[in-house]
Structure 1
Amino acid sequence: MKNHKNKIKKLRNDRKTQEITKTILKLCIGGGLIFLTSGYAYPKNYKQLMKKFTDLERYSCSRVNECLKRLRMQDYIRYDENDFTKPIFLTKKGFQRFNVLSLRDKIKSLTMKKWDHLWRLVTYDISEKYKLTRNNFRRELKLLDFYQLQKNIFVIPFSVERELEELIKSYRLWDRVLVLQVANLGKYEEDVRNHFFNLEKTKKKGVTWTKKIEL
């Protein structure tokens, strides 16, 4: 039970980090960031974009700056550590990372569409030599809300073939990942249907309702 709670907590923290990362990369695409004396990072044309980019204000200064340092170490962004008045620029690798993070928003936009009763099943065979890539790819699928059927098999009911192609391309896994459309998941069908169509319950105006895509 404790391990399960820790996994959920870790996944939530991962998602928060993903949100900060995506916002920072998006700001970089918008013209570069600049450090202010307060410690926050804002776009150079902050006054013009203030209304559009307010996401960073939901997080602490230390968390944002920690994310900036991590992104720099991963070569997603570049900036001069000796002059924080200079802008932060996005690298080619950072642009690719932003595209991957944007996939989650695209997939979320599909959740309210009518289901075509086909499952998108993803399976992969990535050797131990590429363990880091394999783990990162698996982590991305989980963050994209894919359901894990088995260790290397994930499934989702949404028509995300194009988005999956982008994800696979970003990890250079063309010949190691297989995407299938299947009509039935056999013994897993009931559990997976319940996961996607009946699991998310939210209270709104004192009424409990279930968020699900149209069957």
Structure 2
Amino acid sequence: MEIRRDFFMKKYESEFKIKTIKDYLKVKSKIIFTEYCRSIGVNPITVRGWLTLFQAYGEEGLIPQAPKKYSYETKIQAVSAYLNGEGTLKEISIKFKLRSPKQLRYWIIQYNNDKNLIKATPVRKKVVTMSKKTTLEERIEVVEYVTLHKHSYSEASEHFKVSYQQVRNWVLIVKKQGYSALADKRGRRGYIKEKNLTEVDKLKLENRQLKAELNKRNAIEAFEKKFEEIQRGE
């Protein structure tokens, strides 16, 4: 079978998109969707996206526009609606007039990685600004509170009574260098002086970090698996 050159083209004129969808709506009762897409030489996934936009916004949905900024309230309502089982990604996206289900999917992933999207409030809570002296174990607990339990820097600051900047610095240090880098090697300000880490201590910390990363990976995989199941059911 001959495949037209423009089958895999990524850019199409607005007029072509609009005509494609209008023509399909006229004949959809007489032809299978994939056959129609094949006849015009456009990927069915692409046409499906155009159809969704057309159904939600009409012809304007197929005309290029500047990136739209969504309000805090819209993000909360859309993600909450999906998580509460009020509809599929596509249905919720149309309901809240999102350009694409991909936008909602991104917000959901954001929520699962960092619940700031839902838990944040327009009025910032007062957070600790003064640095507090901490032990290595306390610093690790703070990092795990953020990375494993999905709390924000502000929440960790309030919970452990340490400064926002301390929390942020520790998380970034661990991401780049691991738990052992949180040890007091150079008399850092705010660190309680402790004995130098032995090789055994370093191995224990490395093992602890590996277990933490494994738990996080398992959680992400479980979410992705559930997400794929939902997608297949659409």
Using the size of structure 1 for normalisation, the TM-score is: 0.21
Higher Cα Rg: structure 1 or 2?
Answer: 2
**The structure with more helix, counted as a fraction of residues:** 2
Q: Which has the higher contact order (CA 8 A, sep 6+)?
A: 1
More strand by share: 1
Task: State the TM-score, normalized to the length of structure 2.
Answer: 0.20
